[in-house]
Amino acid sequence: QKPGLELAVVSVPSYACQRHTPLLHHNITLTDALSILAENAELGENEGRGVAFRRAAALLKSLPQEVRGAEQLRGLPCLGEHSLRVIKEVLEDGVSHEVETTTHSEQFKAMKALTGIFGVGAKTADRWFKEGIHTPSDLQRSGHTLNRAQRAGLQYYDELNLPVTKSEAVAIGQIVERAVHAVLPGAEITLIGGFRRGKQTGHDVDFLITHPDEGREEGLMPKVVSWLEAQGFLLYQKTTGNSYLESKEGPARPASNMDRFERCFSIFRLSTDNEGREIQTGNGPRSWRAVRVDLVVSPYSQFPFALLGWTGSKLFERELRRWAVHEKAMTLSSHALYDRKRTLYLRASSEEEIFAHLGLEYIPPCDRNA
Ligand code: DCP
Ligand code: MG
């Protein structure tokens, strides 16, 4: 063994929620390759395969050094046979044949382009692909009947695929704050999702809204939306009510990973005058852009769970839930934490307390970039 080749790692824990995963890490080439394969699996609705590639990539993101040879991977968890094969190929040849084939495949390119339309999922995209629709323009010409979300997605396609910058997120935050305070003074607004983890860009901007007097937040969203609409800030919105209390399954046995908070999926019209950024359209440049914004309202007592559940990353969330079930016999959702052995709900007034309940070291948002 040449000195320096051995990674300075004694043992790496196997759940991503046990590790610190910073935004900037040392193995981008490898994680980019694995992410392409994960994405391809997800687009093909092969969730298990997607998760396996995501877990392997997350493991590499948490390593303190660059991996230079396959021998450095000995003893590390989360690296399945397929991921290892890809990693070795990239280490030896600089590229992986499978990754190259994937990125150049018509199907992958078309599925990415079509699911890049707001309101279009893998199932719909696949059906269209099989009809010979490969691009948003093909879809436009096809004369297919689209729902309201998809029509907006097509109309603002280019802009919505432009990364949202941190300063745009801050500007949106100021608008959201004005709207929320106009209809409910004292409400608290928190930037969540990727921006809370320290990302400098995102595909959307996510906000969590709550009020210290539990109950005051009920029915808040329609009022916020009316205010925003009246001020001309919304290009599209769809609000769904809170269905947590009516849901029969209860927080201990959520039917899916989707939470049941009052929520608004929207597209904001954001002025770009202060950004020095002009948006090019078919009708020439203009001084505003479309931005995807998600608003979520949580009752105060559920706020730490909502905050933890909405900060991500998606894999980090998945790993937290998996840890809770398999290692602690607990069920974690964005609403609550339930201890199945003691048959009781565990209260928490901060994210730190939830990690403590789960027997995990606290991982700050900036280290949840798994
Ligand atoms: N989330 C989740 N399950 C959902 C929706 C969201 O667990 N069905 C959580 C995990 C995400 C966070 O909410 O990290 C926000 O979702 P995004 O899709 O906006 O993801 P990010 O904000 O992490 O990334 P991006 O920069 O692409 O917006
Ligand atoms: Mg986001």
Are 182 and 293 found together in one domain? yes
Ligand 1 binding pocket mutation candidate from 118, 256, 310 (most atoms within 8 A of CB) = 310
Q: Whose CA is nearest to atom 13 of ligand 1?
A: 310
Q: Is the peptide bond before 313 cis (omega within 30 degrees of 0)?
A: yes
Q: Which atom of ligand 1 is nearest to the CA of 258?
A: 8
Q: What is the ipTM of this complex?
A: 0.96
**pTM recorded for the entire structure:** 0.94
Residues 293 and 177 placed together within one structural domain of the fold: yes
Q: Is residue 1 part of a domain?
A: no
Whole-angstrom Cα distance, residue 58 to residue 267?
31
Instruction: Report d(CA 198, CA 185) in Å as an integer.
Output: 28
Whole-Å CA distances, 346 to 317, 336, 343, 355: 18, 7, 10, 11
**Tokens for 290?**
């479309």
Rounded Cα distance, 167 and 169, in Å:
5
- Count of H helices and E strands in the chain? 15, 12
Cα–Cα distance, 43 to 48 (Å, whole number): 12
| Shared-domain flag, residues 289 and 173 | yes
The verdict on 146 and 193 lying in the same domain is no
Q: How does DSSP classify residue 216? A: T
For residue range 126-160, list pLDDT tens digits in order. Answer: 999 999 999 999 999 999 999 999 999 999 999 99
Q: Which residues contact 222 (CB under 8 A, 6 or more apart)?
A: 239
Q: What is the pLDDT of residues 226-238, one digit of tens each?
A: 999 999 999 999 9
Ligand showing the shortest atom-to-Cα distance for residue 310? 1
Cα of 250 from ligand 2 centre, angstroms = 26
Whether residue 150 lies inside any domain: the answer is yes
Residue 204 CB neighbour total at 10 angstroms: 20
> Per the structure, how many domains does the chain have?
4
Q: Which residues are catalytic?
A: 204, 206, 294
Number of the ligand 1 atom closest to the C-alpha atom of 334: 7
| pLDDT at residue 259 in the model | 84
- What angle is formed at CA 115 by the lines to CA 160 and CA 206, rounded to 5 degrees? 45
CA distance 256 to 246: 15
**Residue whose CA is at the smallest distance from ligand 1 atom 8:** 258
| pLDDT attached to residue 311 | 98
Which residue among 314, 318, 320, 332 has the greatest number of ligand 1 atoms within 8 angstroms of its CB, and so is best to mutate?
Answer: 314
| Ligand 1, pocket residues at CB < 6 Å | 193-194, 199, 202-204, 206, 257-258, 309-310, 312-314, 317
Task: Flag whether 228 is in a domain.
Answer: yes
Same domain, 208 and 283: yes
* 152, 234 Cβ separation under 8 angstroms: no
pLDDT for the residue numbered 1: 46
